[in-house]
Amino acid sequence: MIVLTNRYEINMCEGPLFGKILRFALPLMLSSILQLLFNAADIVVVSRYAADGNTALAAVGSTSALINLLINLLTGLSVGATVIVSRYMGARNHSAVTRAVHTAITVALCGGVLVGVIGFFFGGTFLSWMDTPPTVLPDAALYMKIYFAGLPAMMLYNFGASVLRAVGDTRRPLYYLSAAGVLNVVLNLVFVIVFHLDVAGVALATVISQCLSAVLVIRSLIVNGGAVKLNPAELRIHKTEFLQILRVGIPAGIQGALFSVSNVLIQSSINTLDASMAAAGATSAEGIVIAGNSAANNVEGFIFMAMNAFSQGTVNFVGQNAGAMKMDRVRRVIFLTTGMISVLGLTLGGAVYLCGEFLLGIYRPGETEVIAAGMTRFAYTLFPYFFCGVMDSLASAMRGLGRSVLPMIVSLLGACGFRILWIYTFFAWQPTLGMLYISYPISWALTAAVHAVCLIFTYRKVKRALPSAE
């Protein structure tokens, strides 16, 4: 019997699975959606109240792919921390849990500072390389500088929340993000409407709110961490746990970064296409297509985060049960979470498409060209969006089993490589938005299918190596 030390934790290795997965995923889903609301609040406020709404909206939106590229490696390391803590919990090795927790938080602090410095000083240069339009570039570069100044706080929250999730605690991160979200919205309105700071104002609001969420999650680990209690005096990198976090986390981070590389190329293609359409008189002003794509991408993010909550559940439930050598239970977790994601993705994708014009209108009321550009993206991505969730869930299952290199390679070839090849072949042959956007669903379905085959072989291999599993 696994003994849990506080009421927030979930025993993932015993009892019915369906209800426990929901109990884990629903607060995490709300947390993830709330975190997206930070960016949504930025975009809505700056597009409505900035002096030049279209330019400001395009500036904030054009940074997302690059920001994701620079922080995905660290986010991958947080996945590594989740997997290692989960497996140690399942194996009931509590001294190793303690070492892993302190190693993870130390990595978060050091890595956040390092990547923050890179983003702060070189973000503008990277945006120039992406062909960001000259009218958008100054505001986009300013947003990047302020955003990356707050990256250490973001990483502390992400790693701290990952540690809590490893023992099934998804409620406290939700509470902390709720407080930070309220602060973010209030500061957005104050900085933009009262002080007229525009893009700088929404960036400052985001950073300050992230600092609050980081303080709250670290305090919870120190005061009431339970099995994952944090002692600041013991913060250091423990070699064994660090290497295990790297073993899982680096491939996961590289996978996320590779996806971001392909998204950066797509964003760059959109930037170029937008400029050429404006020059040809197809739109009334440069930035329309970028703004529409940014708004649509932000709306899609809510669907992704809803599905991703179950993908993260896959990592944690598979990790703990693999650590406890309960492989039949691992199989049931995979089937349950994949089914839940498919139903959720299909339902939300259809609902968002039906309400698409209304949702896009929230970001830029009355801007019919922006809304039309966003609906073009929706037409190609929303209905098959569940394939993206299935793809992530199957990759998460392999990481929970301790195999992180294989899903990285599959993602490199099946999604990232495919998208890059598509841009330089089919899109180069017919440079339209539709030809660009259709690369998304094809790459999702292709990668999900290959992940499924690899997971079958991985599961069988792990089970054969644990003859006493059940």
Q: What is the pLDDT of residue 19?
A: 92
Q: What is the pLDDT of residue 109?
A: 94
Q: Is residue 7 part of a domain?
A: no
CB 63 within 8 A of CB 138: no
Q: Is residue 415 part of a domain?
A: yes
Q: Is residue 451 part of a domain?
A: yes
Q: Is residue 13 part of a domain?
A: no
State the Cα–Cα distance between residues 437 and 53, nearest whole angstrom. Answer: 25
State the Cα–Cα distance between residues 460 and 118, nearest whole angstrom. Answer: 42
Burial 247-267 (b: 16+ CB within 10 A, else e): bbbbbbbbbbbbbbbbbbbbb
* Cα angle 403-404-409, degrees, rounded to a multiple of 5: 115
* Structural domain count of the chain: 1
Q: Is residue 8 part of a domain?
A: no
Q: Is residue 148 part of a domain?
A: yes
Q: What is the pLDDT of residue 382?
A: 94
Neighbours of 60 (CB within 10 A): 29
Domain span at 357: 18-464
State the Cα–Cα distance between residues 248 and 242, nearest whole angstrom. Answer: 10
Tens of each residue's pLDDT in the chain, 470 residues: 444 556 778 888 888 999 999 999 999 888 877 777 666 677 778 777 777 777 777 777 778 767 777 777 777 788 888 889 988 888 888 899 999 999 999 999 999 999 899 989 998 898 888 788 888 888 889 999 999 999 999 999 999 998 998 888 889 988 998 898 889 889 989 998 899 888 899 889 989 999 999 999 999 999 977 789 999 999 999 999 999 988 888 888 887 777 766 777 777 777 776 666 555 555 444 567 777 887 888 889 889 989 999 998 999 999 999 988 899 999 999 999 999 999 999 999 999 999 999 998 887 777 788 888 889 899 999 999 999 999 999 999 999 998 888 998 998 888 778 888 998 899 888 888 888 889 999 999 999 999 999 999 999 999 888 755 44
Q: How far apart are the first and last CA of the chain?
A: 15
Q: Is residue 330 part of a domain?
A: yes
Q: Is residue 39 part of a domain?
A: yes
pTM above 0.75, yes or no: yes
